[in-house]
Amino acid sequence: AQTVTQSQPEMSVQEAETVTLSCTYDTSENNYYLFWYKQPPSRQMILVIRQEAYKQQNATENRFSVNFQKAAKSFSLKISDSQLGDTAMYFCAFMKLGAGSYQLTFGKGTKLSVIP
């Protein structure tokens, strides 16, 4: 079974600054995806960024980037130039490939507040 751990229940950052959210996971699988999902207040979860485990290059989506350390089983999210709209719960998630169902295993989430 897989586990995902987010050790920071809450974080805050000043607008325009950079913040890093931590995530570690445990698995014996070799083929998997890792995700960061964002859930703004009273809104649905949306995908922020995805990393395929077989890719060494860290994924980047505009202001969002990850630091994927496969050997250390670490998958942190960096948000640059933080904006007020980044205020949300952020969930790290793991998906084993090849099972045919695309089931996600989530961390407990980090509540990020961007302060004006």
Partner 1 sequence: EPEVTQTPSHQVTQMGQEVILRCVPISNHLYFYWYRQILGQKVEFLVSFYNNEISEKSEIFDDQFSVERPDGSNFTLKIRSTKLEDSAMYFCASSEAGTENTGELFFGEGSRLTVL
Shortest distance (Å) from residue 75 CB to partner 1: 14
Shortest distance (Å) from residue 26 CB to partner 1: 14
Q: In which region does residue 96 sit, left (phi positive, over 0), alpha (psi from -120 to 50) or beta (all else)? A: beta
- Looking at beta carbons only, is 39 or 74 nearer to partner 1? 39
d(CA 2, CA 43): 27
Shortest distance (Å) from residue 19 CB to partner 1: 22
The footprint of partner 1 (CB under 8 A) covers 33, 35, 37, 42-47, 50, 91, 95, 97, 99-109
Task: Return the closest-CA partner of residue 1 out of 25, 37, 17.
Answer: 25
